[in-house]
Structure 1
């Protein structure tokens, strides 16, 4: 009788093993049951903070596209103001600057700029003698100004004709100063205060260097930043997947729209070949969409604004890029999945617009592949990831991507080492368990990093923090991917962290091994039971 019971127990556990092995495995991966990945950030989509040297040598490098400036008249001691944020005449009458007094630069050349207001209009002037207004919807020659600088932050602004703008006595900005103004107390002289110069993406690099120089810089970068040796390194450290950010212009690689530079498609092809050689899978991630989905440099935003959700053309172009990528790589043995959009902004991208895009993108990928994973990214900001579980985007090999950082929020500023670790176990783990048990897509921690706001962390502190993250994120039903392989900032650099023992990867739990050991234990118990009885 005992032998019969043991046979039933073994049969039951074998069934459980088959179920667990299927549920906790990602199709197409070898060596591990789930994704243990690394992002190739800063390679095919530029982020200046990852490799600042890419921007070396740009003339007026602190006046790239999107730089926010304010102009203060040295004679009136008042700020230039686009009333109501745009749509009216420009005055020089504000004592304290705010958003109406803040201008975003659109760079035309080293010295030529178009000036955009907080509501999106451009400063415009019809010619000599005009009063400047902020009424142009799109810029052309009448919205282009030359900015001359000296070494102490003062500037002159002039038209193509050579006439300078000045602050008139009745607080207007007019184009009627003739001659050459001096740099002291002169109505045509302004202090230029740079408020923010934090956009260093593909647009800023290409437009700042100019096409020929940018092509040279990016070719060298793409050929050297990520190489076949990096894939060998990842393989040796148990990494089985890479998430590769790409920009929308990759679909027009031989002749991309200005100012973007071709060549990223060849680099992506190389990555797939290297991945195949080392049994590593690729997730292609549309990181930068037309018009920008979040206003950040990694979405190739020109000036920090988010235009993607406001234009059907931008969304349609994005779907065309997904079509291009799916048709090109769907049959490649190294493809694991395609991520339809990275980090759409919760503040700017309505959920219904995003879900509609995701559903259409899912169908495009399915047209080319029945097995490739379709990854949809959670909105960043104030958004609940459950909103994507309730959206019914697709039914086969669907993944929701969450990005977990103990950064970028004042909530984390004063946390100690133990506070951060406790947050991982109490908050992150609880959310993962809830999502894992939901009837819907798999869970992917597509970006995380072994960095925090703890300024005095020791190596042991970093090891403990990394261990906590790995322990929790290993439970994600699809897996995780570290941000990023290489980085100018050491603790963001996966290679540096692993080589210097700040991040201890250990081994990924394999459900097949775990259930196999369980079966072995039950079998041993059955044998022991028979012996005793």
Structure 2
């Protein structure tokens, strides 16, 4: 029995047991260490290599898929400021409401049918020859694009690009003019039933002659009955509602008033506050080429967009948001659409060295002005060049020159190259060696604008995102070259009667897949009269539920890494 306060070996509690060690003890310890050392060494080395491997994987994941310049090297989670500094009438139709003869804007396609002959006016071979009034069924030769001079004065462009022209009273109208001037200008009188009279500046009216010619020799003033100088005007298409149509449709002072109000109210500092509060770190801002000539750009464009862009950069900086400047509209138009400020739907940019040179000057202007601004993330050289109209070699040459221009002013700003729209493979840009540092390929993903999507169900659309979009993104992410950016996408489709849950599922699928893009994504667009295109409405109405972290597969990968690190550390202890 021991003494109270002592341990079983009668050593005072709290004191180490002291005893002598003999030679036999030393021999035992030496033997134990010799036996344990190889096993301990191997375990330590194993843990070391495991930890090194996990750390390497983490660095590859965290650094390889991050964007320099963003907070904590995250990726772009962005929104486009579409319809603000480049007008698209479908985004805010009210901008065009007060235009007189608003259905006869630049680029409107019209046909004219003689009431006496019951035949259509036709430019033989689509232009370059005589004009007849002898077609029973209208087609491209019988269709003319309006160039608007005023609400009642127009020029008529043929499908091949020539203009109707008449040398004066008594002459025949032909389609031989390559450009438009006084002799290519006509006055239109119109009644409520779309019956029209067409006359020269001299006041002489055109008529359909019995010889099926269009001549400037009608005597007197025609009425609205079925006479040789009265035609039925059929509006075939009126789809262009861009900057050119707005500025040229309104009288200049009115256009200036309309655009000033729009630029001051459509996007404000409060919108940047909204984006910041919802985790958006980048805005992509479309601009037109005329911004480089502000405050007095060439007619008919209206100045003021440069001041608005300066404001956007200031607001972005205040809320730690980055800006991508996107050249949305190039001189001559790179795709013939309203958002490229095309006058009449033609694509003139790739065939004009002057247009291309002027576009490079615009890039130089933007890069020199904003390269050192702390809010700049990148410059997109050209939005949506048309695959059908812009040859790849022309585009690649332009992109390479644009890259070098940006690099004159910044070694770190990202240079973005937009994929050609239409039948084009984005890998064509990866094979072009466009630039060596901080380059990005911009893809626009819409389950719209193609008959392929017309009859898809909600489930079909979601499966397409996971099977087709995700597969392409994975391939591009793995390619040796630029980062990948889904620069435009939307929570809208061709599904009729989709429920809120359907839209939530569709949006969730897109976010999960596009979150994996190595540069990031940007929603089109912040504000829109069509609610499902409106980012604010989607967020506030809970149709789009943002997942601003990593995708589920990446979250699992990160979890495994951390568990591995934790286990390794525990083992070492």
TM-score (norm 1): 0.98
| Structure-2 separation of matches of 1:383 and 1:137 | 32
Structure 1: distance between partners of 2:568 and 2:386 = 57
Alignment of 1:324-343 (within 5 A): 324-343=365-384
Structure 1: 5+ residue runs without aligned partners?
none
**Partners of 1:490 and 1:497 within 8 A in 2:** yes
Counterpart Cα distance in 2 of 1:169 and 1:513:
78
Equivalent pair of 2:247/2:301 in contact (CA under 8 Å)? yes
Provide the residue aligned with 1:108 in structure 2.
Answer: 149
1:19 lines up with 2:90 in the alignment: no
Shift of residue 32, structure 1, vs aligned partner: 6.3
What does the per-residue CA deviation read over 1:287-337, in whole Å, with 9 as the maximum and x for residues that have no partner? Answer: 000000000000000000000001000000000000000000000000000
Residue 523 (structure 1) aligns with: 565
Structure 1 residue 530 displacement after superposition: 6.2
SS of residue in 1 equivalent to 2:207: strand
1:522 Cα deviation from its structure 2 partner: 1.7
Q: CA 1:515–1:468 in structure 2 vs 1: closer, same or farther (change >3 Å)?
A: closer
Once residues 474 and 109 of structure 1 are traced to their aligned partners in structure 2, the CA distance between those partners, rounded to angstroms, is 48
Q: Match of 1:432?
A: 473
Counterpart in 2 of 1:377? 418
CA distance in 1, matches of 2:572, 2:467: 44
Written as runs of structure 1 = structure 2, the 5 A alignment for 1:392-411 is 392-411=433-452
> Which residue in 1 is equivalent to 2:461?
420
Count of aligned positions: 531
Does the 8 Å contact 2:82/2:285 carry over to 1? yes
Structure 1 runs (4+) greater than 4 angstroms displaced: 510-519, 527-531
Q: 1:47 aligns with which of 82, 88, 101?
A: 88
What is the aligned-residue RMSD (CA, Å)?
1.4
Within the candidate set 501, 505, 510, 1:464 is matched to 505
What does the per-residue CA deviation read over 1:472-498, in whole Å, with 9 as the maximum and x for residues that have no partner?
101111000000000010000000000
Within-5 A mapping of 1:177-188 = 177-188=218-229
Question: Structure 2: how far apart are the matches of 1:370 and 1:530?
Answer: 44
Corresponding residue of 2:37: none
Q: Is 1:94 the counterpart of 2:135 in the alignment?
A: yes
Preserved CA contact (<8 Å) 1:444 1:480: yes
Matches of 1:364 and 1:351, distance apart in 2: 20
Equivalent residue number for residue 360 of structure 1: 401
Specify the alignment match of 1:200 in structure 2: 241
Q: 1:231 aligns with which of 272, 276, 288?
A: 272
CA-CA distance at 1:3 after TM superposition = 3.2
| C-alpha distance in 1 between matches for 2:345 and 2:568 | 66
2:359 corresponds to = 318
1:210 maps to 251
Q: Give distance in 1, aligned partners of 2:433 and 2:313.
A: 31
User: Structure 1 residue 9: deviation in Å?
Assistant: 1.3
CA-to-partner distance for each residue in 1:424-472, whole Å, 9 max, x for gaps? 0111001001111000110000000000000110000000000000011
Structure 2: how far apart are the matches of 1:276 and 1:527? 41
Structure showing greater relative contact order (alpha-carbon pairs closer than 8 Å, 6 or more residues apart): 1
CA contact (8 A) 1:337 1:373 kept: yes
Q: Which runs of 5+ in 2 are unaligned?
A: 1-41
CA–CA distance in structure 1, aligned partners of residues 213 and 422 of structure 2 = 40
Q: Deviations over 1:76-130 (max 9, x none)?
A: 0000000000011110000000000000000001110000000000000010000
Which structure has the larger Rg?
2
Q: Pairwise mapping of residues 300-319 of structure 1 onto structure 2 (< 5 A)?
A: 300-319=341-360
What's the offset of the Cα at 1:520? 3.4
Q: Out of 469, 478, 491, which is 2:532 matched to?
A: 491
1:387 to 425, 428, 446: 428
Question: How far 1:514 moved relative to its partner?
Answer: 7.5
- TM-score, scaled to structure 2: 0.91
Once the 2 structures are TM-superposed, how far is the Cα of residue 10 of structure 1 from its aligned partner?
1.3
**Which residue does the alignment assign to 1:502?**
543
